[in-house]
Amino acid sequence: MRKIRKAVFPVGGLGTRFLPATKTVPKEMLTVVDKPVIQYVVDEARAAGIEHLIFVTGRNKAVIEDYFDAQVELYTTLAERGKTEALAHMQDLQPSPGTTSFTRQQEPLGLGHAVWCARELVGDEPFALLLPDMVMQARKGCLAEMVELYSETGGNIIAVQECDPEETHQYGIVGKGRDIAHGFEITAMVEKPPRGMAPSNLFINGRYILQPEIFHILASQERGSGNEIQLTDAMVKLAGKEPFYGFRFAGRTYDCGSKTGFIEANVAFALERGDMRDKVMEPLAALLAQHDK
Ligand code: G1P
């Protein structure tokens, strides 16, 4: 079985749900506690053994490339000032030379199109896809668990979680078949089904392991839901030829592309930090008590 070495991060989105903040700052660079959103997602990929990071960017996103570059002046200053811990942390986050690639999605034609833009960089091997709006919190990363499942099943793997049946029209939804290993066979996939038409309440949470054949399908994929080229529609076609398995993620997912999801993520990650927990708990509890009245 071929190892999953490469991960694709579609970071070209305009972030219109988060204006005016995203007028000049890409949504992926907004900070959750003290790290940009994209760093959490990259950390999850690295914890799953990913060796090469492929970013599909767009105009006004150059700062993401700068962020993953070495900041030599900063490193020198930190060293001169004896801030060894901060320096070691920066160097630990720094991807090794030659392990990042950037390409631009020139037009916002949808997620399927963004993924297709990575075809030359991925080449002919299976790859991971992580949607950077979705930030996850779990003892073991979602992608690491998927890679484990993949080592047993091969094929294509999609991570899912349960949502309120009233919210199925906001997501890609899968149909559940027979249980296998630590996952299940996928029997259907629908992008943003109209109310009452969803095959289940299992939504696609933004983590995928896909076979490279998806690129051939995406090359001629027509527009679907929202008049965009949808990845889910291409996956439905690929499912006619190759198996698709669902992995049920048991951790928490925060949609950091939405204002409320972003606030929740900040609180949740701050509460998880030993150096912050107590300092955050007290004022938060006071605020909540005040608003309860
Ligand atoms: C995309 C996918 C959808 C998935 C969602 C998760 O939709 O197309 O299948 O459920 O991400 O966030 P988008 O949020 O880009 O509309």
CA distance 159 to 203: 8
pLDDT in tens, the chain (293 residues): 889 999 999 999 888 889 999 999 999 999 999 999 999 999 999 999 999 999 999 988 999 999 999 999 999 999 999 999 999 999 999 999 999 999 999 999 999 999 999 999 999 999 999 999 999 999 999 999 999 999 999 999 999 999 999 999 999 999 999 999 789 999 999 999 999 999 999 999 999 999 999 999 999 999 999 999 999 999 999 999 999 999 999 999 999 999 999 999 999 999 999 999 999 999 999 999 998 76
Same-domain pairing of 229 and 284: no
pLDDT score, position 285: 92
DSSP character at residue 56: E
Tell me how far apart the alpha carbons of residues 54 and 122 are, in angstroms, rounded to a whole number.
Answer: 8
* Residue with CA closest to ligand 1 atom 5: 171
Atom of ligand 1 nearest to the CA of 255: 12
Q: Does 169 share its domain with 246?
A: yes
Measuring CA to CA, which residue among 166, 144, 106 is closest to residue 251? 144
Q: What is the pTM of this model?
A: 0.96
- For residue 24, being part of any structural domain is answered with yes
Which protein residue has the closest C-alpha to ligand 1 atom 9? 172
Strand stretches in 24-171, DSSP E = 31-32, 35-36, 52-57, 100-104, 127-130, 134-137, 156-162
Q: What is the distance between the alpha carbons of residues 244 and 186, in angstroms, rounded to a whole number?
A: 6
The CATH number linked to 28 is 3.90.550.10
Identify whether residues 195 and 209 lie together within a single domain. Answer: yes
Is residue 142 domain-resident? yes
Residues 186 and 136 in one domain: yes
- Please give the Cα distance from 49 to 260 (Å, whole number): 31
Q: What atom of ligand 1 comes closest to residue 134's alpha carbon?
A: 12
Which is the closest atom of ligand 1 to the Cα of 203?
10
Q: Is 163 left (phi over 0), alpha (psi -120 to 50) or beta?
A: beta
Residue to mutate, 204, 205, 207, ligand 1, most ligand atoms under 8 Å from C-beta: 204
In a domain, 1, yes or no: no
Cβ(140)–Cβ(250) below 8 Å: no
CA of 273 to the centre of ligand 1 (A): 29
Residue with CA nearest ligand 1 atom 7: 171
Cα 196–chain centre separation = 27
**Model pLDDT for residues 220-262, shown as the tens digit of each residue:** 999 999 999 999 999 999 999 999 999 999 999 999 999 999 9
Gap between the Cα atoms of 156 and 150, Å rounded: 8
H/E run at residue 205? strand 202-210
Q: What is the number of the ligand 1 atom nearest to the C-alpha of 230? A: 8
How many other C-beta atoms are found inside a 10 Å radius of the C-beta of residue 236?
A: 18
State the pLDDT at residue 60: 87
Could you tell me if 60 and 38 lie in one domain? yes
Q: Show Cβ contacts of residue 96 under 8 Å, excluding neighbours closer than 6 positions.
A: none
What pLDDT is stored for residue 292 in this prediction? 76
Peptide bond into 20 cis (omega under 30): yes
> Domain for residue 145, yes or no?
yes
Q: What separation in angstroms does the CA of 163 have from each of 160, 167, 252?
A: 9, 7, 12
Residues 161 and 245 placed together within one structural domain of the fold: yes
Enclosing domain of residue 240: 6-257
Counted domains in the chain = 2
DSSP H helix total and E strand total for the chain: 11, 13
**Same domain assignment for residues 135 and 170:** yes
For ligand 1, atom 11, the nearest C-alpha belongs to 206
5 secondary structure, DSSP code: -
In a domain, 205, yes or no: yes
DSSP 198-239: -S-SEEEEEEEEE-THHHHHHTTPPB-GGGSB-HHHHHHHHT
Indicate which atom in ligand 1 lies nearest the CA of residue 226: 16
Query: Which atom from ligand 1 is nearest to the alpha carbon of 133?
Result: 12
Answer yes or no: do 245 and 275 share one domain. Answer: no
Ligand 1 mutation pick, 28, 116, 131, max ligand atoms within 8 A of CB: 131
Residues near ligand 1 with C-beta < 6 Å? 111, 131, 133-134, 171-172, 191, 203-204, 206, 231-232
pLDDT tens-digit series, residues 16-56: 889 999 999 999 999 999 999 999 999 999 999 999 999 99
Measured distance CA(128)–CA(109) in Å, rounded: 21
